[in-house]
Amino acid sequence: MKKSILILFGVLFVLSCVETKKEEKEVNEVSKKPNIVVIYLDDLGYGDLSAYGATEISTPNIDALASGGLKFTNGYASSATCTPSRYALLTGMYPWKNKSAKILPGTAPLIISTEQQTLPKMLKKEGYDTAIIGKWHLGLGTGFVNWNERVSPGPNEVGFDESYILAATQDRVPTVYIKDGYVVNLDPNDPIEINYETNFEGQPTGKDNPELLTMKWHHGHNSSIVNGIPRIGYMKGGDAAKWSDIDMADHFLEKTKTYIKSHKDKPFFLYYAMQQPHVPRTPHPRFVGKSGMGPRGDVILEADWCIGEFIKTLEVEGVLDNTLIIFSSDNGPVLNDGYFDDSDTKIGKHTPAGVLRGGKYSLFEAGIRMPFITYWKGQIQPGVSDALVCQMDLLASIAKLVGVEENSTDSKELLEAFLGKSDEGREDLIIEATSRTALRSGDWLYIPSYKGPEVNTQVNIELGNSDVPLLYNLKQDLSQTTNLYESNPEKAKEMHAKFIKLRGEDYNVTQKLELK
């Protein structure tokens, strides 16, 4: 009897040891999962980095990611403007499938459904801590937003445990930071009111009070004035909560450093959505004049410095080796995007789009083809990849990396390509610019005929509108100089058919320019 009790205890003891070992193993497996960081710039062009051939500006910290990681030459955003690209990055869905995925005002409701799959939501389920620090621009709330209460739904309701954001863009009100839904430093005695249609009585505007401005507006941007800069939209109150533009880069950087330090023991997903070089370009005085090409160059240097500090923090905290970093930008470059800031007059020989044609808002390559780098020390072999990849593919690819079954329709699983183990990317991609779409297939690019101005003269960018469809062989003609539509009718027909199959007959229905 005694003996059998002893045996029973023995068995139980062994079983409990096995159980503990299993738990330990599970904990280890979770902690071995790589951290995932997306560093996302705003309006940085294909030619803006020395790693991508720029000779007039030097971006050593981003270059280090490119030379120590994988530099993509055919890496795409999903759109030539911000909101749609960010939507696709986070949801893995084509933005033209969501009619609300257009440049949003600061008062727009959240355009990601709280039911929808998102990159942070997927990772959260896998035991990741998730955070966004920086620009959001995907809408907040469900209609009317009261900025003096918790603003929701927002990033925290679509997968981010923590959020520290600017709501829309640096040039749009409200010009305040929002932490987990609450305006930071809000004085309840000075409530915030926002209106995109009409001004509040007695409030100065860029249009009527040029004497109050430290930065002059060129087009749009003539509503409320904050820190001497006229913005889009009207804002009243919230004085203590207003951000300092010149400190914004340092501010977000500090938040990311604190985040890394406090999350280094658990896998984390951090979306570091930087505001540069979008307008208004407000470099910290440390960077003013440093590029010799005006504030746009200066804020690119500032962003590069921030990224250097950010990587250093990962290294010092001992997590760099176990962190997959993805670097890219939301859409192509623009010089004058609504303010006189010398970015166009002082540009000199620098070409923000590199050899590509077009820019922000454009269906030509510069609108959507981006600097795109994956970096993972010890895991990704340094090199260059010509694989055709899109930011939208990160969802399915990261799912594979962390062992999740993800049946997305638009996001393609290209993990091997992102890790440099294969140069096989996608075959086709529908690209988008201000509600117009086009097809990249293999080396070919087909833009159906869209009505509208060929050039947006305000920003001085060719948009890709044309009376005849446009067809380019990007392998032979990366700069899109020669339209082969008439000389290669076979290819044109094939591309049009494929475009319709992927995009649908109604591709032209919603066409309208959004440049308000």
Does position 167 interact with ligand NG6 (CB under 6 A)? The reply is no
Q: Could you tell me the two tokens for 355?
A: 């050899």
Tell which one of 134, 159, 220, 277 touches ligand NG6 (CB under 6 A). 220
**Binder to ligand NG6 among 48, 302, 337, 462 (CB under 6 A)?**
337
Q: Would you say 219 or 493 has its CB closer to ligand NG6?
A: 219
For residue 64, CA distances in Å to 68, 74, 224, 374, 386 come to: 6, 19, 40, 11, 19
Of 179-187, 219-227, 384-392, 435-443, which segment contacts ligand NG6 by CB under 6 A?
A: 219-227
Determine the size of the site formed for ligand NG6 (CB under 6 A).
19
Between 34 and 220, CB nearer to Ca ion: 220
What does 281 bind: ligand NG6, Ca ion, none (CB cut-off 5 to 8 Å by kind)? none
CB of 212 to ligand NG6, least distance (A): 19
Amino acid at residue number 34:
P
Q: What is the distance between the alpha carbons of residues 30 and 51, in angstroms, rounded to a whole number?
A: 34
**Do the Cβ atoms of 427 and 413 come closer than 8 Å?**
no
Neighbours of 12 (CB within 10 A): 10
Give the β-pairing of 372-375 and 70-72. antiparallel
If one asks whether residue 169 binds ligand NG6 (CB under 6 A), the answer comes out as yes
Residue 241 buriedness (CB in 10 A; 0-12 / 13-18 / 19+):
buried
Q: 68-78: buried (b, 16+ CB within 10 Å) or exposed (e) per residue?
A: bbbbbebbbbb
x/- contact string, 224-243, with ligand NG6 (CB under 6 A)? --------x-----------
* Residue 338 found at the interface with ligand NG6 (CB under 6 A): yes
Q: How many other CB atoms are found less than 10 A from the CB of residue 231? A: 26
Q: Is there binding between residue 410 and ligand NG6 (CB under 6 A)?
A: no
List 236's β-bridge partners, or say none.
193
Interaction between residue 42 and Ca ion (CB under 5 A): yes
How many residues belong to the site for Ca ion (CB under 5 A)? Answer: 5
Phi, psi of 314 (to 5 degrees): -60, -40
CA dist., res. 92 & res. 123, Å (int) = 14
For position 82 contacting Ca ion by CB under 5 A, the verdict is: yes
Q: Which of 461, 212, 230, 225 is nearest to 339 (CA)?
A: 230
Name the residue whose CB lies closest to ligand NG6.
Answer: 220
Among 82, 301, 402, 474, the residue binding ligand NG6 under the rule CB under 6 A is 82
Separation CA 277–CA 293 (nearest Å): 13
Return the number of the residue (83 or 91) whose C-beta is nearest Ca ion. 83
Nearer to ligand NG6, 208 or 265 (CB): 208
Where does this chain bind Ca ion (CB under 5 A)? 42-43, 82, 330-331
Where does this chain bind ligand NG6 (CB under 6 A)? 42-43, 81-82, 103, 137, 169, 171, 219-221, 232, 278-279, 331, 337-338, 515-516
